[in-house]
Amino acid sequence: MPKLSEEQNSILKKIFDSFQTKEVGQEDLDKVCKNEEELKKRTSNKWLKSFAEEISCLIDMVKAVARRDYTEISKGSLAAIVFTLIYVFSPLDLIPDVVPGVGFLDDAGMVGLCLKFVHDAVMAYKEWAAKTGGVTKWIENKALSMVQAEIEPKVRSFCKETVFWSIVGLVFSLLGILILFIKPFPALNNDIAFIIFDVTLIFTIVRIIFTCIRYRKDAVRFIKNWQSLKGVVTIR
């Protein structure tokens, strides 16, 4: 069975040691989160298969940190986890992933080094996740993102529409008043004015009904999304 040479192990150790001193930025956290599926696909490889559960746990840790749910982790441990995961899904590393048979051998070695280094941090995270379900802040953040993505734009749109059609109604109402006072068509003044008032009133009522129906549908969709979110939380 192929193994890493002493020289390769030494290089791998140096690379891993360099991870611990790096600063983890939001971009690095996002990179791991965005490549979650790719990381999990790679665990089907024979060299990484035995680490599938551990890699999944490390990804969960990074996601919890990215959501700002979990903060009880040292910078060194977080850096080791994040950059190890980035190393795993990066195709160009110590042994390029395209090399047949041994392309993921170095990735497995890197994960092994990481797990040994962050063992206590992983245990602490698992204890925290078991107590909290790891979802309290997740629910808050998800709900906030749903409100920002769905409710706030609708409220802004509703306000703009309300202001616009209020101005339109006001303009037509003023036009009716002007016709009553200026009397450009003596024989038809009252009739024209009342027609304008009636049309404006009917139009405004129709717009209000139409707007309410449209935003009711948006509200129903938001409630369904929220119920779906609660279902996900229950499953978790």
Contacts 24+ apart (CB under 8 A), 219-223: 221/150, 222/146, 222/150, 222/151
pLDDT at 232: 41
Shared domain check, 17 and 123:
yes
Model confidence at 157, pLDDT cuts 50, 70, 90, reads confident
pLDDT at 183: 63
Exposure on the CB side of residue 128, measured as CA atoms within 13 A: 20
Shared domain check, 177 and 128:
no
What's the CA gap between 93 and 69, in Å, rounded?
A: 31
pLDDT in tens, 59-116: 999 999 998 888 899 999 999 999 999 999 887 788 887 788 788 889 999 999 999 9
pLDDT in tens, 128-152: 887 776 545 545 555 556 655 666 6
* Domain hosting residue 224, numbered range: 138-235
What's the CA gap between 37 and 32, in Å, rounded?
A: 10
Q: Phi and psi dihedrals of 101, rounded to 5?
A: 85, -40
CB-neighbour burial class of residue 105 (10 A; exposed 0-12, middle 13-18, buried 19+): buried
Which residues are CB-neighbours of 202 under 8 A, at least 6 positions away? none
Please tell me the total count of domains within the chain. 2
Contact of 62 with 33, CB cutoff 8 Å: yes
pLDDT in tens, 23-73: 999 999 999 999 988 888 888 888 888 898 899 899 999 999 998 888 899
Shared domain check, 183 and 93:
no
Does residue 1 sit within a domain?
A: no
Contact of 118 with 19, CB cutoff 8 Å: no
Closest to 137 measured CA to CA, from 65, 79, 75: 65
Please report where in the chains the tokens 């080094």 appear, as a residue: 113
Does residue 102 sit within a domain?
A: yes
CA dihedral 41, 44, 46, 47 (to 10 degrees): 40
Shared domain check, 142 and 126:
no
Q: What is the per-residue burial (b if ≥16 Cβ within 10 Å, else e) of 156-189?
A: eeeeeeeeeeeeeeeebeeebeebeeeeeeeeee
Shared domain check, 110 and 20:
yes
pLDDT at 236: 36
Contact of 99 with 43, CB cutoff 8 Å: no
Which residues are CB-neighbours of 14 under 8 A, at least 6 positions away? none
